[in-house]
Chain A
Amino acid sequence: MPEPAAPLAVEVRDLVKVFRLRRSPGIGGGRSAAKTIVAVDRVSFSVAQGRSLAVVGESGSGKTTLARMAVGLERPTAGQIAVGGRERRWKHVGSRERRRRAREVQIVFQDPYSSLDPRQTVGRCLDEMLRLHFDMDHARRTERIAALLEQVGLDERHAAAYPRALSGGQRQRVAIARALACEPRVLICDEAVASLDVSIQAQVLNLLSDIREETAVSYLFISHDLAVVRQVSDEILVMKDGRVVERGQTDRVLDDPADPYTQRLLAAIPRPGWHPVADPESDLVTS
């Protein structure tokens, strides 16, 4: 239930992203026909401080593009993004402005195997973020690194490890710690658990819920997996071909989908061990 008084962490209005695919010039030369893809088509949503919004939809529906625009990796073709009540501009974003934005929105990517610099230890990775954003001396940073590692369920000893020595789940925890090091208002998780083992998935999801309780961070949670979505989100946004086809409270949308596309999406994901209807006998998801 979104309390109307809660300040908005992110507000997105009529966001559009059009990709121009330039085809290689033909043999005859001349101007090649430019094909365009509307990856995101007039999407609007907002996330209140401390709330969690899930974005679901089939592959290619524009979820990642939406996330990349929110963190400044992609420039919107049209529309506005406001974070913490402040409108984003897209021209002349210097490194000071980028640093400020880093403390507003952070992202955890899907693939834990490529989202950490292979030539940087976990400790140095976190230290880099702390140095950049906070005026801390060495001792305080070391302390903070230990605290961050503990927060994501890792050990102080992991600070000296290179990513290659860590498992996928551990790497993803490091990526979460790196994102949290900036103390952002909003954490975007783009399929952040999709590549993990089911048991490790559950651990990381629990971790994310704990973090939300501890830090009042807002989540934008992108996922294919409706069971995951149910566990972590308050509200849900269903996307198809770049457009929002349905939105609402998570339980309402998942239990009683209004849009035929959402209905098909729900029907298409019968995962073993997952029971769409609350089943007191089975306690698989929460245990």
Chain B
Amino acid sequence: MATAAAIAEIAAPVRRRRHIDPVIVGASVLIGALVVVALLAPWISPYDPNSANILATNQGVSAAHWLGTDPSGRDVLSRLIWGARLSLLGPALIILIATTLGTVLAIASAWIGGLFDQVVSRVMDILFAFPGLVLAMVAVAMFGSGPIAPVVALSIAYTPYITRILRSASLRERNLPYISACYVGGVPARSICSRHLLPNIFPLLLTQAALSFGSALVTLAAVSYLGLGVQPPTATWGLMVATGQTAILAGHPGASIASGILIIVTVVAFNLLGDRLANRHAVQGL
């Protein structure tokens, strides 16, 4: 028994050598490529995304327009490339704000406990009752449409998800002896939270951020689709699905389908990434 355990433990570091997960690599490369495309839009987009050409509306795939043109004669590929900017920036901001807020609230709740924890939990429960889309619609009704109101509303809507999951993880960590040992060792509370708790919940934080990104992208696209967010003629994928609808009826579904596929692919990439990160975390947690 003793030797078997010893051998297993000696062997452990070798087995631990992180093998590369092709799904994580694939999803990361895809997401990275989308970000690069968004950043390089001015240089790689073949046309001005907003220049309409009434002589070339609803064109099919051609050498001049790889993905055809939309009902206003704008180049679909150019609009997809430029649309990547706001379509990715919106969810990125939402996730950045929501995870930052959520992490701080979660760790503070777990550490301070008591009344603070109860108040935070109740407020999060109340926010939970409102779906993100509803919150975004209310925000637009109050502050007018445009890119800012939905982003702020969705940041608030996603905070409870992140807070709830990270709070219970922080609470679990907080009750482990290594945190007690830090406390008994005289480590200041702030350092315990930032240098011990945070790194230990970080893999979960990344997972949640990736999973929420996909969901935020879809919700934001839905907001755009409903005409509540970014206004035409600005290109976002969600808006392109919406404005392409008239063309679908006219038998030219290209623009809608292309932007729809892009949304789906991006969301799937983020979800796969989140899923695999979660699995890896679970394995390492053993």
Write the residues of chain A forming the contact surface with B, with a CB cutoff of 8 angstroms. 71-73, 95, 98-103, 105-107, 109-111, 114-120, 128-129, 132-133, 164-168, 175, 178, 182, 197, 199-200
| A163 to B, closest residue via Cβ | B178
Question: 18 A-B pairs, CB-CB below 8 angstroms?
Answer: A72-B184, A73-B184, A98-B186, A98-B188, A99-B186, A102-B184, A107-B184, A109-B181, A119-B199, A120-B196, A128-B195, A129-B185, A132-B186, A133-B186, A165-B12, A168-B5, A175-B181, A197-B5
Lowest 7 CB-CB distances: which A-B pairs, in order? A102-B186, A99-B186, A115-B177, A109-B177, A95-B188, A167-B9, A165-B13
- One of B1, B176, B185 near A106 (C-beta < 8 A): B185
| B197 to A, closest residue via Cβ | A117
- Check B184 against A106 for contact (C-beta < 8 Å): yes
Kindly provide the distance from the CB of A190 to the nearest chain B CB, expressed in whole angstroms.
Answer: 9
- One of A72, A111, A200 near B177 (C-beta < 8 A): A111
- Check A115 against B185 for contact (C-beta < 8 Å): no
- Residues of chain B contacted by A175 (CB below 8 angstroms): 181
Kindly provide the distance from the CB of A156 to the nearest chain B CB, expressed in whole angstroms.
Answer: 18
**With an 8 A cutoff between CB atoms, is B143 at the interface?**
no
Kindly provide the distance from the CB of A133 to the nearest chain B CB, expressed in whole angstroms.
Answer: 7
- Check B16 against A164 for contact (C-beta < 8 Å): yes
Q: Which of A71, A105, A119 has the most CB of B within 10 A?
A: A119
- Residues of chain B contacted by A71 (CB below 8 angstroms): 184
- Check A102 against B185 for contact (C-beta < 8 Å): yes
Q: For the complex, give the distance between the alpha carbons of A39 and B42 in Å.
A: 70
- Check A199 against B2 for contact (C-beta < 8 Å): yes
- Residues of chain A contacted by B186 (CB below 8 angstroms): 95, 98-103, 132-133, 182
Q: Which of B9, B12, B13, B196 has the most CB of A within 10 A?
A: B9
Kindly provide the distance from the CB of B81 to the nearest chain A CB, expressed in whole angstroms.
Answer: 40
Mask, B1-43, CB within 8 Å of A = 1, is 1100110011011001000000000000000000000000000
Q: Could you tell me the dominant secondary structure of chain B's interface residues?
A: helix
- One of B178, B185, B187, B196 near A114 (C-beta < 8 A): B178
Q: Which of B2, B10, B180, B185 has the most CB of A within 10 A?
A: B185
| A181 to B, closest residue via Cβ | B185
Q: For the complex, give the distance between the alpha carbons of A98 and B16 in Å.
A: 37
- Check A132 against B185 for contact (C-beta < 8 Å): yes
- Residues of chain B contacted by A117 (CB below 8 angstroms): 178, 182, 196, 199-200
Q: For the complex, give the distance between the alpha carbons of A175 and B6 in Å.
A: 19
| A129 to B, closest residue via Cβ | B185
Write the residues of chain B forming the contact surface with A, with a CB cutoff of 8 angstroms. 1-2, 5-6, 9-10, 12-13, 16, 176-178, 180-189, 195-196, 199-200
- Check A109 against B200 for contact (C-beta < 8 Å): no
- Residues of chain A contacted by B176 (CB below 8 angstroms): 114-115
- Check B178 against A128 for contact (C-beta < 8 Å): no
Q: For the complex, give the distance between the alpha carbons of A175 and B188 in Å.
A: 19
Kindly provide the distance from the CB of B127 to the nearest chain A CB, expressed in whole angstroms.
Answer: 23
Kindly provide the distance from the CB of B186 to the nearest chain A CB, expressed in whole angstroms.
Answer: 3
- Residues of chain A contacted by B12 (CB below 8 angstroms): 164-165
Kindly provide the distance from the CB of A103 to the nearest chain B CB, expressed in whole angstroms.
Answer: 8
Q: For the complex, give the distance between the alpha carbons of A99 and B187 in Å.
A: 7
- Check B187 against A132 for contact (C-beta < 8 Å): yes
| A95 to B, closest residue via Cβ | B188
| B6 to A, closest residue via Cβ | A167
- Residues of chain B contacted by A110 (CB below 8 angstroms): 177
- Check B177 against A178 for contact (C-beta < 8 Å): no
- Residues of chain A contacted by B199 (CB below 8 angstroms): 117, 119
Q: For the complex, give the distance between the alpha carbons of A116 and B178 in Å.
A: 5
- Check B181 against A178 for contact (C-beta < 8 Å): yes
Q: For the complex, give the distance between the alpha carbons of A105 and B1 in Å.
A: 35
Q: For the complex, give the distance between the alpha carbons of A119 and B192 in Å.
A: 13
| A71 to B, closest residue via Cβ | B184
- Residues of chain B contacted by A120 (CB below 8 angstroms): 196
| A115 to B, closest residue via Cβ | B177
- Residues of chain A contacted by B180 (CB below 8 angstroms): 73, 107, 109
Kindly provide the distance from the CB of B192 to the nearest chain A CB, expressed in whole angstroms.
Answer: 10
- Residues of chain B contacted by A116 (CB below 8 angstroms): 178, 181
Q: Which of A116, A117, A120 has the most CB of B within 10 A?
A: A117
- Residues of chain B contacted by A105 (CB below 8 angstroms): 184
- Check A73 against B185 for contact (C-beta < 8 Å): no
| A170 to B, closest residue via Cβ | B9
Kindly provide the distance from the CB of B97 to the nearest chain A CB, expressed in whole angstroms.
Answer: 26
- Residues of chain B contacted by A200 (CB below 8 angstroms): 2
On whether A98 and B177 interact (CB within 8 A), knowing A120-B196, A164-B12, the answer reads no
- Check B5 against A107 for contact (C-beta < 8 Å): no
Q: For the complex, give the distance between the alpha carbons of A120 and B1 in Å.
A: 29
| A133 to B, closest residue via Cβ | B186
Kindly provide the distance from the CB of A135 to the nearest chain B CB, expressed in whole angstroms.
Answer: 15
- Check A119 against B184 for contact (C-beta < 8 Å): no
Q: For the complex, give the distance between the alpha carbons of A118 and B177 in Å.
A: 12
